[in-house]
Structure 1
Amino acid sequence: MSTPSASLIRAQNLTHGPITHLTFTWPAGVSWVCGDEGKGKTTLLRLLAGDVQPDIGTVTLPSGGVFWVDLQSPTHDAITVQACWDDLRKQYPHWNDGVLSDLAEAMDMHTHREKQLHMLSAGSRRKVMVVAALASGAAVTLLDQPFAALDLRSIQIIQEFLSEAAEHPHRAWIVADYEPPNDLPLACVLNLDMRS
């Protein structure tokens, strides 16, 4: 577990569910949170986003916002892909329509824009979230298992984006997944298995 000095987001003594007394900082660039099932990867992202409140501890965030959305819930079923993106666009002042358009085209989502989310496969539904996340322009972007159920081409597109994002001096992307990749330059790795 590394604790870089130039942090964009900081957890101090964070405790909720499987996350206990976590103190950690994340710098600009791409960082990874890994661990087995039930170790708290999603819980940690939700804590960092303010989606759930910690039992104890604090999260210090930068100005510029944090992107987090979970589109797997049935509450989103009736919204169309385009309406979902339009709603999210309003929440993020640095939203980049060019990035959204390019990624939607590259990941073959342009033909699904008017479909409701319940009509999409698990992979396409995840693409809606990932495209929005990468277009958000937020200072901190939280991605929960962004590659799950995706086709190889879409995985490669996301990996290429993250490779370029790794060099960004003022924004952070925190990815939660089982294992960190070997071919992506990471700012830091938090292995929740090592905290047991």
Structure 2
Amino acid sequence: MSNEKLEYIKSKIGTFPDFPKKGIIFRDIFSALRDPIACSYLKELLVEQIKHKYPDAEIIIGLESRGFLFNLLIATELGIGCAPIRKKGKLPGELISVEYELEYGRDTFEIQANAIKNGQKVVIVDDLLATGGSLKAAIELVRKAGGTVIGSCVVLELEDLHGRDKIGCDCVVQSLIKY
């Protein structure tokens, strides 16, 4: 993986202190996506990472909502399908759901029942690994839908929040940029 490309992308990521509340440093991927070179590098590095680490991937699952920015790009480049995991009430048809804990409450992720074939090898993609709650729930949901999670890839990881610990050894998580 090209360190120069990663550093370029990192230089374009916005940093917003005290957002959404005091004491939090928000890392904004949208700032980087406004730069066409950063977009190109990001797509190239994500595809390279998944080709190298998960060559037998059969479907790319993107998490609501910024994961959707990447799963279609990756799937298209790899010649495989993609599907979304969304918050409750956003998908039509027969659904499979899982409830998960947030810092101050609970939420629900859903996937269409026919999105993943039984035993299909799945890579989960998202923009950020923070506390790990949404990724852990997504892994559980994919398994409940019959898929085999072979790994996950995130653009940014906030290491101080120890989200990787919540995932444990249950799923290998690749992150492009760590803070």
Give the shorter-chain TM-score range.
Answer: 0.3 to 0.5
More strand as a share of residues: 2
